[in-house]
């Protein structure tokens, strides 16, 4: 199954559209079922050094950042959407296109949950050049690209009331996901300067931890 990119419907909807609200509810449930937020909360505190600030790419409605703040992770958010009302008061929020963002050098820790798969190889290469210049740690969770997970999601989604936007976007997201060492390769994290590990889960998550060598 080759990696293919198509637009996700949620990105084209106004934030207050009923389908957008329903799809965001579905995404919260999907993250909970896959255990994505739990994995970040387990993984990051032991890897983030004292005084290091983290930046979450595509922080969205802020659920992950709020959970990580409770776990002691110092995090800022970066997203096209405005700052969520319940985003921690002491945490920064950048409303900006991440591909045009120029302040990555302020954040040695980069977090991405279901965001890197949205970008083309050229965009990932350009983003990787920026991140390699300043990041010490990159932690990401993405869709695992397997056709069987598209079929499985289509069968299970009606059980939790997923709407058509979610059904479409899940299929598209899986098709744009990653396998093996594809994400570190796309970001240009060569093994001469980075130690990275990628693993997958039975529920369709592809997870990467990349640490710059001293």
Q: What is the pLDDT along the chain (214 residues), one digit of tens a residue?
A: 899 999 999 999 998 899 999 999 999 999 999 999 999 999 999 999 999 999 999 999 999 999 999 888 989 999 999 999 999 998 999 999 999 999 999 999 999 999 999 999 999 999 999 999 899 999 999 999 999 999 999 998 988 999 999 999 999 999 999 999 999 999 999 888 999 999 999 999 999 999 999 8
Phi, psi of 22 (to 5 degrees): -65, -45
Secondary structure of residue 102 in the 3-state scheme? coil
**The residue to which tokens 């994995």 are assigned:** 39
pTM value?
0.95
Q: Give the range of the structural domain holding residue 196, as residue numbers without chain letter.
A: 17-82+91-212
Residue 6 lies in a domain: no
Distance, CA of 97 to CA of 209 (rounded, Å): 24
Total domain count for the chain? 1
Q: Is residue 47 part of a domain?
A: yes
Cβ–Cβ contacts within 10 Å for residue 78, how many? 24
Tens digits of per-residue pLDDT, 148-166? Answer: 999 999 998 988 999 999 9
Q: Tell me, yes or no, whether 99 lies in a domain.
A: yes
- The answer as to whether 9 is a domain residue is no
Question: Is residue 95 a contact partner of residue 79, using CB atoms and an 8 Å limit?
Answer: yes
Asked, for residue 5, whether it belongs to a domain, the answer is no
Residue at 4 is within a domain: no
Q: Are 141 and 39 in contact (CB under 8 A)?
A: yes
The answer to whether residue 39 is domain-embedded is yes
Q: What is the CATH number of the domain that holds 179?
A: 3.40.50.150
Contacts of 200 by beta carbon, 8 Å cutoff, 6+ apart? 144, 179, 206, 207
Q: How many other CB atoms are found less than 10 A from the CB of residue 34?
A: 19
3 belongs to a structural domain: no
Give residue 5's Cα distance to chain centre.
Answer: 16
**CA 97 from centroid of its chain's CA atoms:** 15
**Token pair of 137, please?**
């740690």
């Amino acid at each position: 199954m080759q990696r293919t990119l198509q637009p996700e419907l949620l990105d084209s909807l106004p934030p207050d559209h009923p389908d957008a609200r329903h799809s965001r509810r579905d995404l919260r449930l999907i993250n909970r079922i896959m255990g994505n937020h739990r994995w970040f909360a387990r993984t990051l505190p032991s890897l983030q050094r004292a005084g290091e600030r983290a930046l979450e790419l595509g922080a969205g409605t802020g659920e992950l950042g709020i959970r990580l703040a409770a776990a002691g992770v110092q995090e800022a958010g970066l997203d096209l959407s405005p700052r969520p009302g319940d985003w921690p008061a002491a945490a920064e929020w950048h409303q900006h296109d991440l591909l045009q963002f120029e302040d990555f050098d302020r954040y040695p820790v980069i977090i991405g949950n279901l965001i890197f798969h949205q970008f083309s190889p050229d965009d990932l290469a350009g983003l990787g050049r920026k991140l390699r210049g300043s990041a010490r740690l990159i932690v990401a969770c993405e869709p695992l690209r397997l056709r069987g997970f598209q079929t499985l999601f289509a069968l299970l989604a009606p059980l939790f009331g997923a709407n058509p936007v979610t059904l479409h976007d899940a299929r598209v997201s899986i098709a744009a996901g990653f396998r093996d060492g594809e994400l570190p390769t796309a970001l240009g994290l060569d093994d001469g300067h980075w130690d990275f590990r990628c693993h997958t889960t039975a529920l369709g998550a592809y997870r990467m931890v990349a640490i710059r060598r001293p």
